[in-house]
């Protein structure tokens, strides 16, 4: 039997770089908001202990695929013989800053924790998730989160209901190269969680990306005519928030033919939040 599970995208409502550790990792502050735009992860259980990716993901070898790595990581805690076939329906762009690959991996962890009856706690799953990448734990955390450290220190935070117009410039932005840029601001003063509001802060990576990728700058400029437009993550996707679905869809209807985008609603919890405690 095949099971299908959503892997929702995220937006960084702001993203500050507040320092750098001795090992080179950057210290961040951000608010992660899940949205109802999602890849779909199809899982079919096997009893021969094999983890098999079905289909091809261009540019991503099977052994490097985060969904395959996530399943193999969880196998160490699963009953003998636990295996799975994994198939992805991808709609979230690669290199877009929406966390698609990280979310796919988190959905595999959450779903197989349930299907294999591993029953690890959320905290334990988050620790495993960090081995796969800095963004994976927030999807396991599964709530709107105020993030610190390298993105691994998470606290739940309430934000107002919102609809988002998200534009997807036709470029892939390499995260590592943006964080390595010499002109990147790395000393933004730390925010306190208490006074945070949805319009607070900025994205410290945005000026670097805008200078290197004119398409991102073009999409930001257009969307900025309708509200405060901001880049998510290390780009390339940009977004603006609106109070109602009608307001967001009205903006999307005006999108030039040379641009692509979508409307999504903010989620307070991951669709699979109940799969672990």
How do residues 24-43 score in pLDDT, each as one tens digit? 788 999 999 999 999 999 99
What tokens appear for 19 in the block? 């320092």
User: Which helix (H) or strand (E) covers residue 115, if one does?
Assistant: helix 100-115
Give the residue from 232, 252, 233 showing the smallest Cα distance to 242: 252
pLDDT score for 23? 83
SS3 152: coil
Q: What residues of the chain score a pLDDT lower than 70?
A: 193-199
Q: What are phi and psi of 68, to 5 degrees?
A: -65, -45
Q: Per-residue b/e over 208-240, b at no fewer than 16 CB within 10 Å?
A: bbbeebebbbbbbebbeebbebbbbbbbbbbbb
pLDDT score for 187? 86
**Beta pairing class for 163-167 and 145-148:** unpaired
- Taking the C-alpha atoms of 187, 188, 194 and 196 in order, what is their torsion angle to the nearest 10 degrees? -150
Angle at 21 between CA 109 and CA 140, to 5 degrees: 15
Give the residue from 170, 9, 25 showing the smallest Cα distance to 97: 9
Task: Report the interhelical angle of 100-115 vs 66-75 (nearest 10°).
Answer: 30
Domain positions in the chain are 1-277
- CATH architecture type of domain 1-277: 2-Layer Sandwich (3.30)
- For tokens 């013989």, what's the residue? 81
Alpha carbon separation from 15 to 129, 143, 276 (Å, rounded): 21, 17, 28
pLDDT score for 56? 83
Using only C-alpha atoms, what is the Rg of the chain?
19
pLDDT score for 9? 98
Separation of alpha carbons 137 and 102, rounded Å:
8
Active site (annotated) includes residue 268: no
Whether 117 and 5 have beta carbons less than 8 Å apart is answered as: no
Active site (annotated) includes residue 192: no
Q: Which of 65, 135, 152, 204 is catalytic?
A: 135
Q: What are phi and psi of 146, to 5 degrees?
A: -90, 115
Q: Which of 10, 39, 65, 104 is catalytic?
A: 10
pTM for the whole structure: 0.94
Separation of alpha carbons 200 and 202, rounded Å:
7
Strand runs labelled E in 57-168: 83-89, 145-148, 153-156, 163-167
């Amino acid at each position: 039997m095949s099971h299908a599970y959503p892997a929702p995208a995220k937006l960084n409502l702001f993203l500050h770089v507040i320092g750098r550790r001795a090992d080179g990792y950057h210290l961040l502050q951000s608010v992660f908001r899940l949205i109802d735009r999602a890849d779909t992860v199809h899982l079919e259980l096997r009893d021969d202990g094999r983890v098999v990716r079905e289909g091809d993901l261009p540019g991503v070898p099977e052994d490097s695929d985060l969904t395959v790595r996530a399943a193999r990581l969880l196998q160490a805690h699963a009953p003998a013989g636990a295996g799975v076939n994994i198939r992805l329906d991808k709609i979230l762009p690669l290199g877009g800053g929406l966390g698609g690959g990280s979310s796919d991996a988190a959905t595999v962890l959450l779903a197989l924790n349930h299907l294999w009856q591993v029953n690890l706690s959320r905290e334990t799953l988050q620790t495993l998730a960090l081995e796969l990448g800095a963004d994976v734990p927030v999807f396991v955390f599964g709530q709107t989160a105020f993030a610190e450290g390298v993105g691994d220190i998470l606290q739940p935070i309430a934000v107002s209901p919102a609809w988002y117009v998200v534009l997807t410039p036709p470029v892939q932005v390499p995260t590592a190269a943006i964080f390595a840029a010499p002109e990147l601001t790395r000393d933004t003063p730390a925010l306190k969680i208490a006074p945070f509001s949805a319009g607070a802060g900025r994205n410290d990576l945005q000026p670097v990306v805008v200078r290197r990728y004119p398409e991102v700058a073009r999409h930001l400029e257009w969307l900025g005519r309708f509200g405060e437009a901001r880049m998510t993550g290390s780009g390339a996707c940009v977004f603006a928030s609106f109070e109602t679905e009608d307001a967001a869809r009205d903006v999307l209807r005006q999108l030039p033919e040379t641009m692509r985008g979508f409307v999504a609603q903010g989620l307070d919890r991951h669709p699979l939040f109940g799969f672990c405690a």
